[in-house]
């Protein structure tokens, strides 16, 4: 069974078409994969930046609260002298701070004298 020139050309043209379609499909796959990876990287970077911003903001807020409590006159007086009225005043202050910030589960006033013991 011998093929004529038309059949051979048709077969060659079909093979070239299949090869071109395969190459185009593979190129499309590579490009779409790169786009998907780049998009995922951008989203991950954005979410990391948002998380870092939230952590920084929370840390700054906690630092401000701690600075306010450390510099409060009642806190300093409670650490230097035993006075039940001052103890009650600082307890109310701590309760209000904890009520304002529900994320705080407990607060303690610890002196540096004797390493906090």
Give tens-digit pLDDT for 70-80. 888 888 888 88
pTM of the model: 0.62
49-53: average pLDDT: 98
The domains of the chain are located at 1-71, 73-117
Average pLDDT for residues 13-30, to the nearest whole number? 97
CB-based contact 65:58 (threshold 8 Å): no
pLDDT band of 114, cuts 50, 70, 90: low
Of residues 114, 58, 82, the one with CA closest to residue 90: 82
Q: 117 pLDDT band (50/70/90 cuts)?
A: low
Q: At what angle do helices 73-80 and 5-71 cross, to 10 degrees?
A: 60
- Share the mean pLDDT of the chain: 89
């Amino acid at each position: 069974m011998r093929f004529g020139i038309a059949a051979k050309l048709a077969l060659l043209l079909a093979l070239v078409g299949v090869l071109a379609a395969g190459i185009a499909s593979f190129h499309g796959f590579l490009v779409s994969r790169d786009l998907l990876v780049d998009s995922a990287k951008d989203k991950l970077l954005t979410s990391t930046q948002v998380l870092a911003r939230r952590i920084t903001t929370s840390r700054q807020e906690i630092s401000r609260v701690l600075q306010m409590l450390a510099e409060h006159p009642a806190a300093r007086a409670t650490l230097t002298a035993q006075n039940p009225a001052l103890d009650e005043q600082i307890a109310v202050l701590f309760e209000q701070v904890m009520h304002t910030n529900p994320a705080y589960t407990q607060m303690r006033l610890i002196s540096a004298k004797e390493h906090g013991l």
